[in-house]
Structure formats: structure tokens, C-alpha cells
Amino acid sequence: MSGEHHKELGFFRKYVFSVDHKVIGIQYGITALCFLFFGFCLIMMIRWQLAYPGEPMPLIGGLLERLMGAKWAEEFMPGGRMTPDFYNALGAMHGTIMIFLGVVPLLVGAFGNYVMPLQIGAPDMAFPKINMASYWCFAAGGVIMLSSFLVPGGAANSGWTSYPPLSAIAQPPAAGWPILFSGQTLWLVGMVALITSSLLGSVNFIVTIIQLRVKGLTMFRLPFFVWAQFVTSFLLLLAFPPLEAAGVLQLMDRVAGTSFFLPEGLVVSGQVAMVQGREIAGGGNPLLWQHLFWFLAHPEVYVLILPAMGIVAEIIANNTRKPLWGYRALVYSTVFLGFMSFIVWAHHMFMTGMGTSISAFFATTTMIISIPSVIILTALIISLYNGAIRFTTPMLFALAFLPMFAIGGLTGLPLGLPVSDIPLHDTYYVIGHFHYVVAPGTILAIFGGIYYWFPKITGRKMNDTLGRLHFVFTFICMNVVFMPMFFQGLAGVSRRLFDQTQYSWGAAVQGWTITSSWGAWMLGVAQIFFFINFFWSIWGGKKVSNNPWEATTIEWSAPSPPPHGNFATEPVVYRGPYEYSVPGMSKDFFPQTAVTEA
């Protein structure tokens, strides 16, 4: 297929409006890494306000004033001190950007797009043009989100969860500005674009995995990473539409005068609440938003973790030089986990006055869903047992993922039971819990994946010394950032506080806040190793063969980087994905596509 000569495409068709899954994967990867860094910058600013409330921000304060102009600085950071509204905007946008523009596009858009078709031996995704449309919807959503920082009133500041009634009435558009140009409204429009992108992507992923597997690659010969992507795509496909509906409903509340989420007789700051200068009709239900939002946002948690588990599984099998322990258990657990993730959402809503029967139902399903998670983690840990472990850079990240995810997962259990959730709800404990899953968990897995597949994408390896330094500092700093949050939370400090020292119990644990802030800034410094390594290695890294890690899965039998169409001849698969250290063989790996031991 790719042996034939392809018509030479112009620059734009080849690198900008490309339909090749590999180019799109790289586009996703680079865009999402930029967003990830941007979201991280927002939180580094927040950490200053938290650690040293009310003090002018050194360096950055002045820099921003010069960059954005005096008028902007006057509104958001007078004298280098951030206003409470700006603080709220930074918090809301940090969450939104990290999840919807950073981590998910990296895991699904970048790794899924680049690696999954290669791992199933396909020449491309099933619908290449839809794949391109999906990337450009994502890019449009990102631009809309970013542009919201520039409208009067600033970016959305009602939290990443955008709970109404606050979000429905906050930030009316400034006089003389079109109705859509206010932070929260742009947030909603941006979300609709991002959701459309995810829907297009997930249809494409599912069809590709079902239809385009090469000969011999049965479902139970798929690498675990592909299974993770498969289940993730179903979560995106069926959980996102309710949030799209909720987004449309809230948009109607904000621009068309409906009151889907606005109860009757709503009074804000002693005045009857108004939207667009009109009195609201009322009769709406704020909990409706929470149901529709969490119907997506709980499965979304598994969208954030399943592909990360897939990456870790690939790296662990490759670097322990033995098959994954309990492959089928892993697959069944993942499928079950995916299904269960749809019926646990209201454990985010124990504080909303739900009755005991429904609370008991959701607490039970939440306890049940922890079982497959533990099975997956256990299988990955047992896979290490008796392995001839190679401590390569990606393996270090994969190994660190295991205890970090365990901490994140186990600290979630008290939040799944109404009795212990009620005192912990909306405290820093919750922040610590989900950041342990997503930051030291998923983001470490993402770094591992970048180090692991970099040779396939560029034909060169990233530098090991820099990689190890990056790992050590990242790993330590991550824990310095997030461990103190548990102590703060248990001391009763609420999340989203502008200045916790105003409360005696907050002032008592301010030391932990400062520790956490310094951890965050050091974490930022540690990424310098990654930046240097990443850009230097693209041009100056050590050239390596097509299969530098001596791996078994199909992507390593393609040239590095794979040409358009991926494989010179269509591969045929003869065995399962992790045939490492097969007894009686001279080499310790047996690729899926090898007919016999060559």
C-alpha cells in the first residue's frame, strides 16, 4: 500500500491540514503540551497568592503589566496583587485547561492517534478527514477558551465545574460588547467545540479498532493500550453528550433568558438576580446541571486514567521482559470499570441533600468500582515480580505511577462514602486526592509514554541522563506539592479560598501551603530538563533502530518514523502482544508479526 508512490502534497496539506493520523497525533501532542504548560503557569501564579496572600507578585507581576498593558493590570493585578476575581478565573481555567485541553488531548488525541493505528497494524484511522476535523475543533475550542482572558471581566471564574446559579448569572457582558463575549459564555462555547471534537474522535477510534485490525490480530491479542483506548472512546462517546446538552442549556440561560438552572426568587447580594438586564422567570433547578455535568465528569476521570494505565502496561511489559500478569483480568476489569463509571456520578453530590436511598446506591456503586481499579493495579504490580527489570527512563516513570495512583485511588474511598465525604467535601483533601490520580499519576505516565515512543516518532532516543534528572526532580516535587494538601484538608481548609490565613484553622496550616507552593515552583524548574531534552533530541538525539526497546507490539515493526501508510507490507499477526522471555528462544522477545524465531 505504501510501497506505491504517493502524490507529493504541499506544505499545508502535509503539515497543517493533514489527514495522516501521525501528523494529527503530533499536532495534538504539541498543542496539548503547550496548553498543559499554560495551565501549569496559571497554577504557579495562584500558588503565590496562596502562599503569600496580598503580597505583590515578584517578576511575573511586572512582566504581565508590561505584556498586557496598564489597563489590564489595573483590572486584574493592581500593583502586582491579583484580585479575587482574577484568582477565581485562574482557578477555573487551570482546571478546564489541564483536563480538557491538556491531559485528555495528550492521552487520546496524541498517544491514541499516533500509537493506536500502528499497534493494530492499520494504514490510518478509519475516517482520516474526520480525524482532521476533530483536531481543528479541538484547536478552535482551545482558542476560544484562551480568548476569554482578553474580554472585559476576564475568563470564566465560576470554577471548572461551572455550577449554577453562580455561573448562569456571573460575568454579564460589558456594555458595548456582543452578548457572547463574556468569560463564562465563551467557556460554554469553547466546551461545545471541545465536546464535538471528542465525539468525532471517539467514533473514529472505535470504528478503527473494530474494523481495521490486521489479519490475526484478534481482540484478545490487542495490546492493553489499545483496549484502554477502546473503552475510553466509549466513555467519551456516551458520556460527553449530556454535558453538551447541559452546556447548551446554560448558554440559553445566559443569552436567551431561560431559567433552566435558576430557581424562583433568586437573590444575589440583596438584589433580585438579573440576567441580561431582565428579571429571570425562575422555576429552574441548579441540581440539573450537577447531574448532567457529573454524568460526564465522572466517566471523564476514567478517561484521564485508563489510557495512562495502558501506557504504563506497555512500558512495564517491555521493561520487565515478561508478559503482563493477568492480561485477561486486566481487559475484563477495564471493560467493567468503563461501564460502572456511568453509574457512580452522584457521589460528587452527597452534599446536595439527596436522600439516604440514592446516596446508599451511589456509595455502593462507588465501592464496587474500586474493585476493578485495584485488580488493574495489582496485576501491574505482580507483573514486576520475578522480572529482569531494565530501569530505563520510561520504566522509572511507569514504576512511579503505581504507588502514586495507589495513593490517589485509596484516598478517594473516604470520598465515596457519604458519612466521611460530608466533612471532607470541598476541602483540600479532595484536591490532593484527584491531583494524586491525575498529576503524579497520569502526567508521570504521559512523560513515560513520551520517552518510550519518542524513538518511533523521530527515529532518535531522548537523552537518558537528562531524562533521569527530570524524573527524580519531578517525582519529588510532585509529592511536595500534593502531600501537604491532605494535611490542609484534614485540618478543614476549604478549596478555592483566596486567603486561608483569614481563618484560624487555615492560618495554623499555612506552613503546608507555603511548602506546597515552593514544590510547585520547583516542579516548574524541573521541567527545564524535559524542555532541553525534548527539543535537543529531535535533531541531536542518538539515532536508533526501528525497535530500540526490543519490544513485541506491531508499531515497532514499522520504520521510524513510519511513512505515510505506515507499513511497507501489510503485517500479519501470529501471537499475543507480550511474548517476552519465551522459554527455549535465543532472544528474549518474540514480536507479534514474526513468523518464526528469526
Q: Which residues of the chain form contacts with another protein (CB under 8 A)?
A: 122-124, 126-128, 130, 199, 202-204, 206-207, 210-212, 234, 237-242, 244-246, 248-249, 252, 256-260, 263-265, 278, 280-288, 291-292, 295, 339, 342-343, 346, 349, 352-358
Least Å from the CB of residue 362 to another protein: 9
CA dist., res. 563 & res. 540, Å (int):
21
Which is closer to another protein, CB of 439 or CB of 554?
A: 554
Least Å from the CB of residue 202 to another protein: 8
Helix, strand or coil, per DSSP, at residue 502: helix
Helix axis angle for 356-384 and 327-340, nearest 10°, is 160
Least Å from the CB of residue 70 to another protein: 40
In 3D, which of 314, 564, 317 has the Cα closest to residue 445? 314
8-state DSSP, 589? B
Least Å from the CB of residue 286 to another protein: 7
Which is closer to another protein, CB of 235 or CB of 312?
A: 235
CB 471 within 8 A of CB 400: yes
Which is closer to another protein, CB of 273 or CB of 450?
A: 273
Least Å from the CB of residue 571 to another protein: 13
CB 424 within 8 A of CB 485: no
Which is closer to another protein, CB of 290 or CB of 319?
A: 290
Which is closer to another protein, CB of 233 or CB of 427?
A: 233
Least Å from the CB of residue 340 to another protein: 11
CA dist., res. 516 & res. 487, Å (int):
11
Least Å from the CB of residue 104 to another protein: 16
State residue 155 phi and psi, 5-degree precision: -70, 170
CA dist., res. 435 & res. 505, Å (int):
23
Least Å from the CB of residue 346 to another protein: 6
CA distances from 525 to 37, 474, 529 (A): 12, 9, 8
Helix axis angle for 84-96 and 21-51, nearest 10°, is 150
In 3D, which of 518, 529, 432 has the Cα closest to residue 472? 529
CA dist., res. 247 & res. 187, Å (int):
9
Least Å from the CB of residue 281 to another protein: 4
**407 — alpha (psi -120 to 50), left (phi > 0) or beta?**
alpha
In DSSP notation, 517-571 reads HHHHHHHHHHHHHHHHHHHHHHHHSEE--S-TT---SGGGGS-SS--TTS-SS--
Which is closer to another protein, CB of 117 or CB of 591?
A: 117
Which is closer to another protein, CB of 233 or CB of 547?
A: 233
Q: How far is CA 114 from the centre of its chain?
A: 17
Least Å from the CB of residue 357 to another protein: 5
In DSSP notation, 27-71 reads HHHHHHHHHHHHHHHHHHHHHHHHHSTTSPPTTHHHHHHHHH-HH
Which is closer to another protein, CB of 288 or CB of 522?
A: 288
Which is closer to another protein, CB of 346 or CB of 438?
A: 346
Which is closer to another protein, CB of 339 or CB of 498?
A: 339
Least Å from the CB of residue 342 to another protein: 5
Least Å from the CB of residue 580 to another protein: 29
> Is residue 178 packed enough to be buried (19+ CB in 10 Å), middle (13-18) or exposed (0-12)?
exposed
CB 191 within 8 A of CB 243: yes
Least Å from the CB of residue 377 to another protein: 25
- Paired strand residues for 231: none
Which set of grid coordinates corresponds to residue 360? 446508599
Which is closer to another protein, CB of 103 or CB of 280?
A: 280
State residue 338 phi and psi, 5-degree precision: -60, -45
In 3D, which of 450, 379, 198 has the Cα closest to residue 303? 198
CA distances from 213 to 107, 130, 202 (A): 21, 19, 17
Which is closer to another protein, CB of 352 or CB of 502?
A: 352
Name the percent of the chain in helix, strand, coil, to the closest 5: 65, 5, 30
Which is closer to another protein, CB of 283 or CB of 559?
A: 283
